[in-house]
Amino acid sequence: MKIINTISRLLAFQLTREEMLNFNKYHLIAGMLGTWLVGMGRYWDDPKASLLQHLGLGSLIYIFVLAGIIWLILYPFKVPNWKYFTVLTFISLTSFPAIFYAIPVERFTAIETANTINVWFLAIVAAWRLGLLYFFLKRFTRLSTGNILTVTLMPICVIISTLTVLNLHRVVFNIMGGVRNPTPHDASYGVLMFLTGISMILTIPLLISYGVGIYKNKKRRVK
């Protein structure tokens, strides 16, 4: 019940820094279990998904990679008690909103309507999880708002671009050539293509802001 309460408080943006510092192996196990389940639910009706995605293993690999990227990005800021385990546990616990992806809307709506609904699900889950990441970094690291915005957007840009290149290349080619066999997820893939373009545009400004933030933070620590 304590773990359920922690997850509920986190998803409601109410978790304190002290509670984040008290993450333990049971929180991580609960988060990984949730990641695995929603991972299978996300792709169970997608014929274009790989075996790893159907088994939910792709989602588990994803959270380890994302946590590693976030931990590395924040490492130069020398945040007290900044540990990979804490970041990984947090990322795993934010997987639960993705249960929306498992709703088989295409079973009781037309393919066009299912596409629209899935896009809304994508937007809701993405905004929710991005908000949680900002909340976590702001409350845990206590860095400036500018630095938090930068380090929040950087890993997202990296992940979106990587997913598009590695997992969605076939869909991209199909959409560019005209989709002959539409699926309920095609509109979501289109949104990801758009976000990829935005991510690439933001890369240079984010890197500049990141470098400036590290420099200013180092000067502040020296003083």
Question: Tens digits of per-residue pLDDT, 58-113?
Answer: 888 889 988 999 999 999 999 999 999 999 999 999 999 888 877 767 677 776 77
Cβ–Cβ under 8 Å, residues 199 and 161: yes
Please count the other Cβ atoms lying within 10 Å of the Cβ belonging to residue 67.
20
Question: Tens digits of per-residue pLDDT, 183-203?
Answer: 545 555 566 666 667 777 777
**Alpha carbon distance 162, 116 (integer Å):** 24
pLDDT exceeds cutoff 50 at 160: yes
Cβ–Cβ under 8 Å, residues 55 and 119: no
pLDDT exceeds cutoff 90 at 139: yes
Task: Give exposure, 91-108, as e/b (b: 16+ Cβ within 10 Å).
Answer: bbbbbbbbebbbeebbee
Q: Which two tokens stand for residue 35?
A: 């990641």
**Alpha carbon distance 149, 212 (integer Å):** 13
pTM value? 0.78
pLDDT number for residue 179: 42
> Whole-number mean pLDDT of the chain?
80
Task: Indicate the domain borders of the chain.
Answer: 2-222
pLDDT number for residue 21: 95
